[in-house]
Amino acid sequence: MPVAVPRFPGHLTDVAGLRVGHHTLAGHHTGCSVVLCPPGGAVAGADVRGAAPGTRETDLLHADHLVDRVHALLLSGGSAFGLDAAGGVMRWLEAQGQGLAVGPARVPIVPAAVLFDLWLARGPRPDAAAGWAACEAAASDPEAEGNVGAGTGATVGKLFGLPRAMKGGIGSASLRAHGVTVAAMLAVNAIGDVIDPATGLPLAGARTEDGLRLQHSARSIVQGLPVVVPATGSATTLGVVATDAVLTKPQANRLATVAQDGLARSINPVHTMSDGDTLFALATGGAGHTPPMTVLGTLAAEVVARAVLNAVRAATGLPGLPAAVDLPPG
């Protein structure tokens, strides 16, 4: 019987001005999620850490490149097919008059990243219509978690074969400290296990052969047990960490880099050859000041780890693919 599990408080929309919309392809185990920035955009950066990424418009976020603001971010299922959804987000923003002024035109800047959910999603993939629908659904209310949007077909714990994996999902968390808000939203679709940093025990991941307990993948690898490494590009955890602090583009990139520490605390193994782990950072500047980057980085890593745990706690199991609420931890 599923058991009640606690969640860390907060959502990405706790950063004032951000709106989140999910579009779920009902019955097809895939979807996409959009983060809409305030009018005029937000300063952004990115850190691509996995070895098999699927991304769009991440090069322009490099600290030495021209454009420093984005108008939306897209996280999508469907592997590389899901990048099509960014076109729908661009068209929706253009219809709202949002975008970078380039001569007579406005060009919305929409970086995107995709995860591999084709183990489950074997029908339609997120396309431009899905991206548009996610924008239409966007709101400043607390965003939904679990089997929605980009987390619909997410799975975790695949190092001992897909029959022993578990359900991943999408989750959020936020913190308010030092006069700023720092929040994160993660679509958790990892090769490795999701680990509770407080106990060192897995919450969701590879299961034992009988399917009733958690295997603890990293510990099993150290013990020399054989693994079944899925094909390259078969997973990926995606996320957005956002703050209302005032940041420059180099600082936003640094925030995305340090926020990856939150993945290292809560997923093991992480950043593998089969993952395309990517984090975006957004800074709206609404707080009007900039705490020390060491402070912001500490908050970002913590909130990312919390959002990862919330993602698997909110997930709902499917036939043959249980969720964290269906198994005891450890």
- The per-residue pLDDT for range 251-302, each reduced to its tens digit, is 999 999 999 999 999 999 999 988 999 999 999 999 999 999 999 999 999 9
Cα 133 → chain centroid? 19
Q: Give domain status of residue 329, yes or no.
A: no
Q: Give domain status of residue 40, yes or no.
A: yes
Whole-number percent of the chain with pLDDT over 70: 97
Q: Give domain status of residue 4, yes or no.
A: no
pLDDT category at 3 given cuts 50, 70, 90 is: very low
Query: How many domains are contained in the chain?
Result: 1
How far is the C-alpha of 211 from the C-alpha of 166, rounded, in Å?
10
Q: Return the closest-CA partner of residue 3 out of 262, 246, 303, 324.
A: 324
Average pLDDT score over the chain? 94
- The per-residue pLDDT for range 109-133, each reduced to its tens digit, is 999 999 999 999 888 999 999 999 9
- Residues with Cβ within 8 Å of 82's Cβ and at least 6 positions away in sequence, in order, are 30, 32, 54, 76, 114, 115, 125, 126
E-assigned strand segments in 15-168: 19-25, 30-36, 42-48, 55-56, 69-70, 72-76, 100-102, 105-107, 112-114, 155-156, 166-167
Answer for the pair 279, 256: CB distance below 8 angstroms, yes or no.
Answer: yes
Report the CATH number at residue 213: 3.60.70.12
Answer for the pair 128, 87: CB distance below 8 angstroms, yes or no.
Answer: yes
Three-state SS at 298: helix
**Which residues are bridge partners to 23 per DSSP?**
32
Q: Give domain status of residue 1, yes or no.
A: no
Q: Give domain status of residue 108, yes or no.
A: yes
Q: Give domain status of residue 6, yes or no.
A: no
pLDDT reported for residue 234: 82
Residue 297 belongs to domain spanning:
12-324
